[in-house]
Amino acid sequence: MSDAQQAIINEFLVESFENLSNINEELTRFEKDPNDKELLNAIFRKIHTLKGSASFLGFSNLQVITHAVESILDFIRNDQLKADSSLIDLFLESFDACQAILKDIESSGKESETDYSELTKRLKNNLEQAMTGDKALVEDKHVPSAQEMIEEASDADENSVQNVQEEVTEVETPKQEDKKVSPSQQAPPVQTATGSATNSQKLADSTVRVNVKLLDKIMNVVGELVINRNQILQYSKHTDSAELNRFAQQLNVITTELQTDIMTTRMQPVGNVFNKFERVVRDLARGQGKNISLEISGKETELDKTLIEVIKDPLTHLVRNSVDHGIESPEDRQAAGKNETGKLSIKAFHEGGQVIIEISDDGKGIDTEAVVKKAIERGIFTESEVPNLSKNRILNVIFNPGFSTAAAVTNISGRGVGMDVVKSNIEKIGGGVEINSEFGKGTSFRLKIPLTLAIVPALVVESGGETFAIHQKNLVELVMLDESEGNSLEVLHGNEFYRLRGELIPIVRLNKVLNYECKSQNESTLNIIVLKAEGRVYGLIVDDVLDTQEIVVKPLSRKLKDINIYAGATIMGDGKVALIIDALGFYNLVENRAVEKAAEESSQEAEVVFTEDHQEVLLFKLGDGRIYGVPLSLINRLEEFMSTSVESSGDQSLIRYRESSMPLINLENLLHLEGESQLVKLKGKEEKFHCIVIDIQQYSFGLVVDSIYDIATSEAEIETNTVDREGLLGTLYINDSLITLVDVHKIIESTNIGKKLFGEIDKSMLKGKIILAEDSSLYRNVQIELFESAGLEVLVAKNGKEGCELFKSNADVDLIVTDIEMPHVSGYEFAEFVRETNKDVPIIAVSTRVSDKDKEHGLKSGFTRHLQKLNKVEVINTIKEFLG
């Protein structure tokens, strides 16, 4: 193929792709408003152009399809045929075929072997129907039979140019009147390869095609120029030369103008992307039997070309999500009292130097409760965190990788991939995603996109003698705090906070985080920069706020990028390099450090941090003056009773508690300790004593102690070989003192009343291999002992994750006993994992969480039974049920 010919084909491809790019949107619009003659004409012209070029260049498949479509369109144009949905479907399909052919031509230079005869046949049938229909009586215009037309098209390559020429005149001239195209409508003039030479000449005169790479390069050079300008401006500030100042100002104005103009050349209307959604939404909605009206506004809003490329996929994903998950089926909508037709709106507009794109639907919204539940399962939140979570934080969870609350995985969405990608893609270009949702009312996503990438407005600050820049997009406000006037930061748990109009925001000192020497600064005023990243607001304290500036963002080398707190570097007016602080990365760093710190401190403080293998122990003293401990998770309440209200039944002391009598346990007696129990000491006196209340099934037991000492957290291993008597579990070092752990089960069992209640455990006859997953080493030991003494072979996992692995390598186990609350992988997740491959093996959950809700959750996850942690008898009996 000669160069000249190739050039023509390239021209043809560019033009045709351009023509076809909007045709889907126009067709769907036409479907909604079939009376829009102008629109129909625009479509007709496009297809006509395509047909003409195709026959001129000898692409026969393309020609046959376009010719048939054109003919049908002509009938519609002459009101001889009505465009119904199925016909529009056929058109859409035809244009898809056209596009596929064009792509083939683009890649191989010729049409592929793909067989389109089925499509052309259907087109032909439609055409014939139209012609035989009663309405197919045309006044004076000669209408060729369908057969004729197709044939004419097929052998068009031979006498193409002529043929096309003739047809153009034939079709166009009589239509001149109703072809009054409004000037604003920029549909390209009808042009066949030869016929419109003069027209396209005019167009070519006013525009030039420029390679995007060249534009990129120019943009870079302008970036350099901006830096240079900044340097000259800075320099001129320090000189007295009026001349230089004048030149510098001129340079400033010119550079700014140039920068704006160059940026404009790269701008494209977002409509280029939005238009595709007409088709996407239409197809999806039809496929799912939903009625959706799509409203698009702000198509003309412009964005940098590279940005448009980047946002295309995230936007498509969000739109698909809205159609698939957001908007309900017509029946559901009716049931919810909504209009059957769902509304999906896509809006683009400018706001605060950014482009905002909003995608909102009036569908079912996001169920925050379901999200929270799932987030807890996945370990994103802990249960104790939940009440303090803002709605915003909860909604943002859906951006976590792999997170999906969709009940069913469809081929469109719900696979848990996507939202995280949406977010990371948008953030990559310096934008942000906000989400808002009312359960039952709808969801809206708000994408903030910067106008351009390379040059951004930034706040320039100083800290520890170094200069830093912060993206303006993260900046909320600046606060200058004069401590001498009685305003100050508040300190909670060693962390600083500032009360900003009533709301407490965390405060971070930049130099502290970056390990800078604290500059001896004027301590009485603090510069707080209030930043917002991903919905989290925090204050950053710097030494000085210098300026706002347009900065040119330069990427950092890999290793420095990995620190994750810098968004890049820039060159300041004085030629020095300044680091750009990434507000989000910086916050994450601070947060991670705080978590680490908390974990370190948790061994001293009784703070609930979920680490592996740690247990909280309630410490108390008994009559012998020594310290004993009971795992906190076993204890239901701590009570104080008057010694006068103790009653006796036989040898057993009882007390009236919650409308029944609760046995009081004399630990000193049962454990054969020195010293006397409060029960004995206070007999006949009128004094209060402490009691640890433990519930087993519906019964409560009270352990009488001398005094409650403390609550401690320990990760130390329990020494079990130090036990010298029944009723003790072992010893443990907590804060350097030796603690004896009391085996509450055994003690309660060994009381007369316990024996009566639970009976002796018959452990002798069990046989089998079980997996035990339990994160607390205390419980692990108790249970291992229990199961082994019952004759079972016990495979031990310290958490759900180990459990999964054990199960993988020991799929033949007879039974699984698991805790629920475990780090890494919870009992629920463990059970779900097992159930993926094995539906039959009994899984017994042994937990302190036995509310109905927990049980329901457990059953869903695949638990066979859900037992209370304390009750050995019940556990063994249950196991016996399955293995006995």
Partner 1 sequence: MSNESILHGDVNQLCGFKIGSGHYAVEVLDVQEVVKPQNVTPVPLAPDYIDGLINLRGQIVTAINIRRLFGLEESNSDDYMNIIVSSGENLYSLVVDEIMDVMDIENSRFEDTPDTIDEKISNFINGVYKLDDKLITLLSLEKILSLEMN
Nearer to partner 1, 465 or 759 (CB): 465
3-state DSSP assignment of residue 382:
coil
Residue 842's contacts (CB-CB under 8 Å, 6 or more residues apart) are 814, 815, 816, 864, 865, 882
Nearer to partner 1, 198 or 515 (CB): 515
Nearer to partner 1, 227 or 845 (CB): 227
Nearer to partner 1, 466 or 874 (CB): 466
Burial class (CB in 10 A: 0-12, 13-18, 19+), 107: exposed
Nearer to partner 1, 589 or 609 (CB): 589
Nearest distance from C-beta of residue 40 to partner 1, angstroms: 51
Nearest distance from C-beta of residue 462 to partner 1, angstroms: 12
Nearer to partner 1, 231 or 652 (CB): 231
Nearest distance from C-beta of residue 217 to partner 1, angstroms: 14
Nearest distance from C-beta of residue 471 to partner 1, angstroms: 17
C-alpha distances in angstroms, 98 versus 63, 91, 125, 283, 466? 9, 10, 19, 18, 59
For the chain, the C-alpha Rg in angstroms (whole number) is: 38
Nearer to partner 1, 34 or 585 (CB): 585
Nearer to partner 1, 464 or 730 (CB): 464
Q: In what order do the strands lie in the sheet with 637-642?
A: 637-642, 688-696, 699-705, 660-666, 652-657, 646-649
Nearer to partner 1, 566 or 779 (CB): 566
Nearest distance from C-beta of residue 592 to partner 1, angstroms: 12
Nearest distance from C-beta of residue 556 to partner 1, angstroms: 7
Nearer to partner 1, 565 or 691 (CB): 565
- Block residue for tokens 């604290």: 518
**Per 3-state DSSP, what percentage of the chain is helix, strand, and coil (rounded to 5)?**
45, 25, 30
Nearest distance from C-beta of residue 843 to partner 1, angstroms: 42
Nearer to partner 1, 511 or 713 (CB): 511
Nearest distance from C-beta of residue 266 to partner 1, angstroms: 20
| Beta bridge partner(s), residue 702 | 664, 693
Residue type, 163: N
C-alpha distances in angstroms, 706 versus 583, 624, 646, 728? 54, 9, 16, 18
Instruction: With CA atoms as reference, report the closest residue to 821 among 615, 596, 592.
Output: 615
Cα 777 to Cα 54: distance, rounded to the nearest angstrom: 77
- Block residue for tokens 């909280």: 616
Task: Give the N- to C-terminal CA distance of the chain in Å, as an integer.
Answer: 84
Please report which helix (H) or strand (E) contains residue 707, including its range.
Answer: strand 707-714
Burial class (CB in 10 A: 0-12, 13-18, 19+), 189: middle
Nearest distance from C-beta of residue 517 to partner 1, angstroms: 11
Total length of the chain: 884
Q: With beta carbons less than 8 A apart as the criterion, state whether 373 and 322 touch.
A: no
Nearest distance from C-beta of residue 563 to partner 1, angstroms: 5
Nearest distance from C-beta of residue 789 to partner 1, angstroms: 51
Cα 109 to Cα 60: distance, rounded to the nearest angstrom: 14
Q: 630 is written with which tokens? A: 């009971």
Helices 827-837, 800-809: inter-axial angle, 10-degree rounding: 20
Cα 41 to Cα 175: distance, rounded to the nearest angstrom: 10
Nearer to partner 1, 419 or 469 (CB): 469
Cα 778 to Cα 634: distance, rounded to the nearest angstrom: 11
- Long-range CB pairs of 104-109 (<8 Å, 24+ gap) are 105/9, 105/13, 105/59, 106/13, 109/1, 109/6, 109/9
Nearest distance from C-beta of residue 559 to partner 1, angstroms: 5
Nearer to partner 1, 2 or 515 (CB): 515
Tell me the three-class secondary structure of 131-179, residue by residue: HHCCCCCCCCCCCCCHHHHHHHHHHHHCCHHHHHHHHHHHHHHHHCHHH
Nearest distance from C-beta of residue 533 to partner 1, angstroms: 18
Residues making contact with partner 1 (CB under 8 A): 224, 227-228, 466-467, 514-516, 554-560, 563, 565-566, 569, 571, 575-579
Nearer to partner 1, 246 or 593 (CB): 593
Nearest distance from C-beta of residue 566 to partner 1, angstroms: 7
